[in-house]
Amino acid sequence: MDNRQPLVSAIKTGRAWNGFQNDIGIIVHAVEPIPENCGGDWFTPALCNTEPGRRGNGWYEVDKPINYPKCIKKLQKNINHGI
C-alpha cells in the first residue's frame, strides 16, 4: 500500500528580507504537499531534490504546470515504473 500523497506545483518564495520578493520563482517544481505540523514555512525537498533557500519562506503552492526539466523527468520515470 502506498501512503505517499500526490505532488503539488510549487515555486520558491524568494528572499523575504525586504518584503518585495522580487526574486520569487518562475520555475515550477513538483513538491509533496505542505506538512500539517510544519508551523507555516514549507521547506520539503522537491522531487528533483531542490530545496528553497535559507533566506526565503520556503515553497508557495501555485496553480501552474510543473516546468522544471528534472522534476518532469523524474515524474515520467516514476509513472513509467508504476511508482
9-21 pLDDT per residue, tens = 999 887 655 555 5
Mean pLDDT of all residues in 1-14: 75
- DSSP SS3 for 72: helix
CB–CB of 73/80 below 8 Å?
Answer: no
* Burial of residue 57 (number of CB atoms within 10 Å: 0-12, 13-18, 19+): middle
- Residue 68, pLDDT above cutoff 70: yes
d(CA 75, CA 72): 5
Q: How many residues appear in the chain? A: 83
Q: What is the pLDDT of residue 47?
A: 94
Give the DSSP per-residue string, 23-70.
T---SPEEEPPPPTTSTT-B-PPBTTS----TTB-BEEE-SS----HH
- 9, β-bridge pairs: 30
Q: What is the pLDDT of residue 66?
A: 95
pTM, rounded to two decimals: 0.77
